[in-house]
Every structure is written in structure tokens, then in C-alpha cells.
Structure 1
């Protein structure tokens, strides 16, 4: 593994040859954090200054200096699994680029990476573990068609700005603990029809329906343009057919959580077309 500056970001090129997470050193940090401020404990290193003045071993300080220096992770070709907690508590990571050989992201892999705003997903990804992206800063997630299973225990919880989550219809979402909902404390859940924004006995009964709702959010016929725009590799022809029927105003129609087809298309990393491409195609077809 090597570290270099790429696009202005301190970048770790991860090849899977070294175990990066040390549970003992993490425990040492946590004990000091509790002494520093118990209320901040759940957020670990987020918004904590002067941590080097804590009573930590030199080994622990060096461990966190290294982990807090990384701003981008590039997972290299050949890596198939990112082990449990590999990048957890690396609070300054902003971008993650996964090689297409990555099949599994295990539990808590990017746990509490509170600056993480962008993930380029592996097109071979099959599994995401519990709490894998807990307390990150993702605003949109489009999982690839290869994703077969998600352990839904807090997988994307506490991504407060998460508004778009597109999960393939045949992806299985498991939850082993009813109170740990996959999108707990996200903007998407707050906009949902469910009363699951806080953990209470009255809301637990609804948790089991959230996973199905996530995958079928745009299944209503009136949201078919939304579904196409957030699908894998939408085509101009498919959208053009809908526009002929609905008109361009349909691009600004909001679904039940307030998202427009335009927003889906703009955020969709698998869409090689832009809204202007569709407009130009429409005009060309209408004038021929």
C-alpha cells in the first residue's frame, strides 16, 4: 500500500495486503474520548480538537495520525473483500473509489467516516455489511445491479443528508435487530410515510415495511419517469417515449418524498445522458 496526493487529496491506495484496523488502539482512543467528553463518544473523532494532548501511547497517536491523514481511498484491482472496520473512524476521508473486483464490503468498514460524501461503487459488488456506512455524509446512493444482499442493520444510518437511495429490486435486505433500521436518521426516512424517525414501541411495527418501500418507492405508474431516471443505464429512447406522453413538465414532478426525475438523473452515476441531451434529442425527433 502507498500514499500519494491525488487531485489535492491525501490518497491511500489500498491493496488489501495489510490489516489496517487495530481494535486495541481504538479502545485506548475511546477510553480517552470518554474522559474528554462523554457526549461526543458516539461520534468518535468528529469535531474533536487537540486530541494529541490526551494521555495516549505513542503507538496510538501514530495510528490515528495516519488514519486521520487519509482524505481519499482508492481500492486497487484484485481486492475482493474489504474486511470489518478497515476504515472505521477515518473521519477525514471524503472520497472512496472501489475497483470492480470488490465483491464484499464487510461490517462497519466505513463506520463513522463523517466526511465521506462520494463512493464510486464496484460493478461486481454483491454484499454490504451492517453499519458499513454508519454516520457518513452521503447524500445519494445508487447501488449496482450486482448487489444481491444488504445487512440492513444501520447500513446507511446517520447519513443525515441522504435523500436518494436506489436499491435494485432483487436485492435482499436483512435486518437482524428491529431497532437498527438501514436508513435511520436520514433525510429520506424523515420524508417517508413511516413514523420511524425515533426508536419507540409504536414505530417498531413499521420497520419491517421500510425495506420493501425503499425498493418500490417509484413503482407507482405515475412515477415511471422517476424509476427510469434512477435505473441502471437509462436510455434517451426510454425517456423520450415517456416525455411524448407526459411532456417536459414531468421532469419537475416530485414523488412522495419530494424528488424529481431531474434530480435522479443528475445524481445517477450510471446515467451517461443529461437532461439537455434528452431535450436536444426530442427537438431533433420532432423536426424530422
Structure 2
């Protein structure tokens, strides 16, 4: 679900159908009291009906436990004002698949996305400076994790994920030296041969840059070259919530170029 900049201006807080999905448009209010477990706005049963959560412009912090156990939410889209996601904000959102983080995000709290069992990928923007302990613990399908080089990472961030199963620095018991694990995550696509992977997984993928590399290699198969964890540039591009590239147009452009046509 893509949201154009001009669309944000029309949104008001509340729950309603949007593009065929029951959507909660969130403006930063407390939904329930963490200490007393008292529902303040929406009760537990209502929260289980939400399919999409849209964090509205102006919200800077997603509070602790804000969407704890919203079990049917599949998509979360954040406006670019969000700077912090606090502890366990999306804990046990077991059907969560699609997340578009704020491009100004600075902080992800402890266990913020733990036990999001359906989550396969997350792209963390360059603005983010810290990911706390267990942020993606037990996201058992998570294999794509893109993050900045200069980020501070806590303990057990990828424990019990699909990514942890292919990490050479984690033993069968799930143990490993954090520094080695973190450096490995950051540098999965560091080699020059994976330049296309880096572009397709960046927060600002360029169609021009992608086309240039594909043209240089003279083969669309370069988009299907797996890296060390088995992910192809095309898979990064398809999963990337920041990408707005028409893949069919890219393929057509390449075919015409190879045929000697003007593109």
C-alpha cells in the first residue's frame, strides 16, 4: 500500500475503511494504559480488527506497547515525522508483513517488533542511530534486514530469525559474539559484486543506477543473482517500501536497448 505525499493531508485520526482495508489512522494518543491495562480509546477486540496502521504526520514517538498484540495488522506505514519507536510498540503483531518506517527514524526500542512472526523484511533508514535489545527477536521469517553502517545495535536483535539461521557467527544453540554478528549484517552486500543489491535495497533506489548496471552486465539475469544469504536484487526491490520503480518498464527499457532502439 503506497501513500502519496498529498494523500497524507487528507487523513484525520480514527478507524475507517481505506483502500478496502480496516485502517487505524493514529495521531499519537494513548490507546490503552500500560500500568492498569485499561482501554482508553479502543478495546482489545476492536484492535484485533485493524488490518493497517497509518502513523499520521506530526507524530514523533510511538509509545511503549502502543500496538502490542494487534494480531491482524498486516501493514504499518509511518509518516516521516516519527523519530522513535518505543519498547514493545509492535510486540506480537503476528501477521505484520509490511512496514514502511519514517525516513527520520532515530531509535527502535527493546523488543519493538519481537514475535512479528510473519515479517520477512525491514529496511531501516540512514537516520536511525540505535536498535535496542531483541528488537526483532523471534521474527522467525525475517531474512532481509537493511541498516546503516554507523548504527548502534543491542543484544539478540536477530535471535530466532531466519537471518540468524544463515549467520556464520551464530552457533546451533543461538549463541554468538554480537560485534561479529552486527558487522556481518551490515556488510552482507559490501562486496563490489553486490553493488546492484545495495542499490535495490537502499532508501532511495535509482532506476537510472539499476539500469546502468544491468546494461553493463548485458543481462537481466543480474537482477536474479543471489548474494550469500540467497537474496537477489529483484527480491530486495520488491520488498523495499521506499522503492517506486516500475519493474516492467525497466525490463522493457532494457530489451529495447539491446535491440538498438532509442530509450
TM-score range, shorter chain: 0.7 to 0.9
Deviation at 1:19, TM superposition (A): 4.7
Task: Give the equivalent residue in structure 1 for 2:163.
Answer: 188
TM-score by length of 2: 0.83
Contact 1:161–1:186 under 8 Å retained in 2: yes
Task: Give the equivalent residue in structure 1 for 2:46.
Answer: 66
Residues 148-159 of structure 1 correspond to what in structure 2 (within 5 A)? 148-151=129-132, 153-159=133-139
Q: Does 1:143 align with 2:115?
A: no
**SS at the partner of 1:188?**
helix
Q: Does 1:273 align with 2:254?
A: no
- Which residue of 178, 197, 202 maps to 1:207? 178
* Root mean square deviation, CA, Å: 2.3
Q: Separation in 2 of the partners of 1:106 and 1:157?
A: 15
- Which residue of 128, 131, 152 maps to 1:173? 152
- Which residue of 17, 23, 32 maps to 1:11? 23
**SS at the partner of 1:69?**
coil
- Which residue of 231, 252, 258 maps to 2:230? 258
Answer with 81-90 or 140-149: which moved more. 140-149
The 3 A distance-change label for structure 1 pair 18 and 208 is same
Deviation at 1:197, TM superposition (A): 5.3
The 3 A distance-change label for structure 1 pair 65 and 240 is closer
Answer with 222-231 or 244-253: which moved more. 244-253
Per-residue CA distance 1:237-281 (angstroms, 9 max, x = gap): 322332244332222211110111111122222222244333333
Flag the structure with larger Rg. Answer: 1
Contact 1:84–1:107 under 8 Å retained in 2: yes
Per-residue CA distance 1:18-73 (angstroms, 9 max, x = gap): 352433338xxxxxxxxxxxxxxxxxxxxxxxxxxxxxxxx79x842233233322
Deviation at 1:196, TM superposition (A): 4.4
Q: Separation in 2 of the partners of 1:75 and 1:241?
A: 36
Contact 1:90–1:113 under 8 Å retained in 2: yes
The 3 A distance-change label for structure 1 pair 72 and 239 is closer
Contact 1:97–1:119 under 8 Å retained in 2: yes
> Which runs of 5 or more residues in structure 1 are unaligned?
27-58
Q: Separation in 1 of the partners of 2:256 and 2:79?
A: 38
TM-score by length of 1: 0.76
The 3 A distance-change label for structure 1 pair 9 and 285 is closer
Q: Separation in 2 of the partners of 1:273 and 1:72?
A: 23
